[in-house]
Amino acid sequence: MIVGLLGLQGAFPDHIRHLKRLDADYRVIRDAPALAEIDRLIIPGGESTVMGKFLEAFQMTAPLQERIRRGMPVWGICAGSILLAETADGAPGILGALPVAVKRNAYGRQIASAQKPVNVPLLDRPAFPGLFIRAPRIISMKKGVETHARCGDDPVFIQHGHVMATTFHPELTDDPVFHEYFLRL
Ligand code: GLN
């Protein structure tokens, strides 16, 4: 099983130590042909507008949508969850693979970024350090989307079948539990 790590922009290098620790075979991918070599994909945090433009420029959007439609497991982190969402700030999402609506930068600017404890019963973590960096808020979800964790009232770890999203950054902590979960998806 080969884990793809979308390496167009953003916090993709931070996933590598977790994948190594779990002995996962991984490839950093940056073009459409590479999509054929992977079995699942991590879309990292970063800047969703920039990443969306690169996906278009490298003609990856349509083939990636097709892979996800055919069942490839995907995990979007922060900006990655924005790319996966059906709508972002009221406009159609770039990949539209997760039936949720998100609002970007919903908690404020960089200065409002924070670490907050997140209770994740599914992963047996009552106080996972949730690093929220100019995070989006999931403002609505369609039927079938599961909420695995909330922060306050907001869903922050969700899953719809083979597509999962966290609005915080587990790769910036030392705990590989989210990566472990994704590899089993
Ligand atoms: N604010 C960024 C965006 O809108 C997401 C930030 C992140 O990925 N940490 O794309």
Contacts of 2 (CB under 8 A, 6+ apart): 25, 26, 27, 37, 38, 39
Contact 132, 105 (CB under 8 A): no
109 pLDDT tier (thresholds 50, 70, 90): confident
130 lines ligand 1 (CB under 6 A): no
Centroid of ligand 1 to alpha carbon of 44 (angstroms): 10
ipTM of the shown complex: 0.96
Residue 47: CB within 6 Å of ligand 1?
Answer: yes
pLDDT at 110: 82
Q: Which residues contact 153 (CB under 8 A, 6 or more apart)?
A: none
pLDDT digits (tens, 9 = 90+) for 62-108: 999 999 999 999 999 999 999 999 999 999 999 999 999 999 999 98
Q: Could you report the per-residue pLDDT of 34-75, keeping only the tens digit for each?
A: 999 999 999 999 999 999 999 999 999 999 999 999 999 999
Whether the pLDDT of residue 112 is over 90: the answer is no
CATH number for domain 3-184, candidates 3.40.50.300, 3.90.1640.10, 2.60.40.1120, 3.40.50.880? 3.40.50.880
Residues 6+ apart with CB under 8 A from 5: 12, 15, 16, 19, 26, 27, 28, 29, 41, 42, 44
Neighbouring residues of 148: CB distance < 8 A, sequence distance ≥ 6: 120, 121, 122, 123, 157, 158, 159
User: pLDDT digit string (tens) for 163-176?
Assistant: 999 999 999 999 99
